[in-house]
Amino acid sequence: MISSEYINLSMQRLLFILILGASLFFLFNACQQDEPLELDQKEYPNVDQKLWVYFERFEEEGLRHGQEIDLIERGITATIEPITQEHVGGLCNYFSNHANQLVIDDYIWANTSEFQKELIIFHELGHCYLFREHDDRADSDGFCISLMRSGNSNCIDRYNASTRQAYLDELFNP
């Protein structure tokens, strides 16, 4: 016959093993870094990872508008860093001997909406990839006709969910 002391000792060992196992499980998982949720996210070399989704979206929108766009093949680079010019959210630096480069202002990037982020990236890719110039035309109500408006224009931005498609139509098919 098994004594009650033996049963108590076995139960204590089992409880200890369970608690130790659970503790190790939680400790191990707490130390793991979060993996990106988008496992199929396209990677863009020499582009800040925060901008990848917008680069991919630009390619997809180009395809929807009949243009096959390959930002990787073109070698366009992009960084998020301070821009010293006032009222400038992004720049496209043109180079004759290597790929064009986008620079996105870090302060504006950190303090703007998703639509504004998309507008900035698409505007700069409009320069760097589509070779579009600024277009400061306005409609009769004073609203900008193009995403390619300059920072010095008098037209009013209204890039949002309801106007996005018209702006993209104009961007890819001016």
- At 33-73, the pLDDT tens digits run 333 445 577 899 999 999 999 999 999 999 999 999 999 99
Q: What structural domains and CATH numbers belong to the chain?
A: 49-172 (3.30.2010)
Percent of the chain with pLDDT over 70: 77
Would you state the pLDDT for residue 30? 42
Q: 147, 125 in Cβ contact below 8 A? A: no
Of 11-20, 61-70, 82-91, the poorest mean pLDDT is in: 11-20
52-64 and 114-128 helices cross at what angle (nearest 10)?
A: 70
130 in Cβ contact with 172 (< 8 Å): yes
pLDDT band at 29 (very low <50, low <70, confident <90, very high): very low
**Whether pLDDT at 14 is above 50:** no
Q: Against a cut of 0.85, is the pTM above it?
A: no
Put the strands of the sheet holding 90-93 in their side by side order: 77-81, 101-105, 90-93
